[in-house]
Chains A and B, each alone.
Chain A
Amino acid sequence: MAGQASFVVVLTNFERELRAAGLSVGTGDLLAYCSAMAALDPSDLLDLYWAGRVTLVTRRDDLPVYDEVFRRFFLGGGDPVREMLTLRAQVTTGSEAVLEVPATDPGDEPGPEQEATLGLMASDAEALRHKSFAACTPAELAAVRRIMARLRLTPPRRRTRRARAAPAGRTPDLRRTVRESLRMHGEPAELFWRQRRVRLRPLILILDISGSMADYSRHLLQFAYSANRAAARVEVFCFGTRLTRVTRALDHRRPDRALELAAQTVFDWEGGTRIGASLDAFVRDWGRRGLCRGGIVVICSDGLDRGDPAVLATAMERLRRLSHRVVWVNPHKGGNRDFRPSTLGMMVAAPHVDLLLSGHDLNSLEELAALLPRLS
């Protein structure tokens, strides 16, 4: 049946095109596609389209990509102007050692000198913690990133509806009690208890990566990466002139690769800022679907907004209602305790924010990491 075999080859090539376009399609899906076409009419283009869409695509966001690849493959359509440029950015990661061993003269007693060096190291690290990102040299930035990679962000917990057996629980576990009492002729000899399980709240990070935040954005992204590694449900978004979801890009084991992938998905690095419109997009596309329900939303931005303040106000109000707590991290706050928001964006957003922190140096980020579990 040469005809069938060549048809399968056609479908396999189509699947390969889809994979090249970024869809994750497996061999199982291809098998399902072939079986589906066996049940349908292979010469009907509509059947071909719908069967592929049903078997090969698993997410709504992939549908436009599927449409385009289908058009290109089966209909020979021309390439529309692609917004996405796939660049391969080579990042050379130099692994420097943190410990700097100074050259000692042979025969010298290394003891005291080493101690002195270590002392210097400690105070270096201490100074680094309080140095604003904007004022760091590249070497210091690298050191900061390494320290940040070890930060553990833990969102606060909430009680869920599921229960588990716990001797010190508050509600009786009837099921288990009865089961155990079946052994004793139906006498409930021992009462078992259960307790509602506690779960981490989802954490949503929304990072401003526009021009005014240029010094801080890459560190915040690193921070988001460590948060992603640490907590269970973390979503990370970036915005400048528009909102991009980078959670999947940050889902990589090697931090440099993850940051590289994230950098590729975002297009408006260091461009203008439209906080209101981006937050509005977040609320409309993600918030309403329940992404931040019961969760903590952390917005890292300086509040310099070029858009309409009314849009920002509405978006912040809606966001506040949709989520459990809203935290705003503003690098310009610095160490100033009685910080009064000076930019229009901050003034508009401040009433809707539960906690205002600064994010200008490592110390403040560690403060954020420390405060986070206690927010409830």
Chain B
Amino acid sequence: MPVTGEGEASEIASRPQTVAELTDVLRQGGYLADRGLATALFVALSLERPILLEGEVGVGKTEVAKVLAATSGRKLIRLQCYEGIDTNQALYEWDYARQMLQIRALSEHEVTGEGAVDKLFGPKFLLERPLLEAVRAGDRAVLLIDEIDRADDEFEAFLLELLSDFQISIPEIGTIRAEHAPLVVLTSNRTRELHDALKRRCLYHWIGYPPAEREVEIVLVRAPGVPEALTRKVVAAVHRLRELDLAKPPGVAETIDWVRTLDFLGETGLGPEAAEDTLGAVVKERDDLDLVRDHLEEITSGAGYSGG
């Protein structure tokens, strides 16, 4: 359901009223959420609090924010965190080059006085970054702060302040306040323990790997046109892979990739040869590759097809 642009008041009023409604809405957007995740998102929407999604890699933490934005008519504003990110990249920055040119132009035409300086700090020269955009958009946006665990402590402290009030004061312009807070979704891969204060501010939900049945459903929704029999075999194999002690266990995204690859190659089952050929879609580490190759037979056992 491709819905873009800012929503209006009527679309916000169509916010799901029960957990079941929200689950349906997400399903229509192509995302299968389990009861826990749907409840967590529903509570976040009702209480207008940010939600922190932690989980393994590739289980759909980022995806859920995208689908939520698309299905509820909100704009998706994405802030990708990395080490060393600061307010200039996250909040706003002045367009210095333009300002200098403007100064030159003003001084050439010998325009002086109050108005000249004010013009220099007008909205034309303000480069809005994701957080400021989100504050301006208010509840017409879903703010996705991706991989917050890659940012450092200073950024977390700054973010905490923002998430509490949702107002930003720019000295030259004034205070910008959001009437209603946007839905904020933070994702983390747990490479680092987040600060307690930030965790307290947010609701917390852990997304684990889905059970086999659900994973089959997810793959069938995300990769339509793929035969169900193949999907079942691949999901069984992936679940066995996750039991092995891999450095990078495959996530749901890898399962979908593997199924798509096999389908593209025209395979209808998962024999050892087919698995060996397409292993790169699901195992991404050298050590893991060696380990998996040793156990290839038992991983694909029961998943092969009769005949050559």
Contacts and interface: CB of A to CB of B under 8 A. Distances in A.
A54 interface: yes
Nearest to A55: B203
A190 to B, nearest CB: 15
A50 B40 contact: yes
A46 B152 contact: no
B247 A178 contact: no
Nearest to A33: B43
A272 to B, nearest CB: 23
Given A58-B199, A58-B200, A185-B107, A36 B84 contact: no
Given A175-B96, A181-B100, A186-B104, A36 B47 contact: yes
A162 B84 contact: yes
Contacts of A185: 103-104, 107
A57 B47 contact: no
A254 interface: no
A54 B205 contact: yes
Interface stretch (A204-212, A221-229, A284-292): A284-292
Contact of B40 (A29, A54, A160, A161): A54
A59 interface: yes
B191 interface: yes
B199 A39 contact: no
B88 A51 contact: no
Q: Which of A175, A186, A290 has the most CB of B within 10 A?
A: A186
B207 to A, nearest CB: 11
A118 interface: no
B19 interface: yes
A47 interface: yes
A41 B104 CA distance: 64
Given A58-B196, A58-B199, A51 B39 contact: yes
A191 interface: no
Contact of B203 (A26, A32, A59, A179): A32
A291 B49 CA distance: 29
Interface residues of B, number: 40
Contact of A160 (B47, B83, B120, B247): B83
B35 A40 contact: no
B203 A290 contact: no
B42 interface: yes
Contacts of B44: 54
Nearest to A57: B204
Contacts of B154: 162
A32 B48 CA distance: 11
A63 B55 CA distance: 13
A58 B152 contact: no
Given A41-B18, A58-B199, 9 more contacts: A32-B49, A40-B39, A53-B36, A53-B205, A162-B86, A162-B152, A181-B100, A182-B120, A185-B107
10 contacts: A32-B203, A40-B42, A40-B43, A50-B39, A58-B204, A59-B199, A174-B96, A175-B88, A178-B100, A186-B107
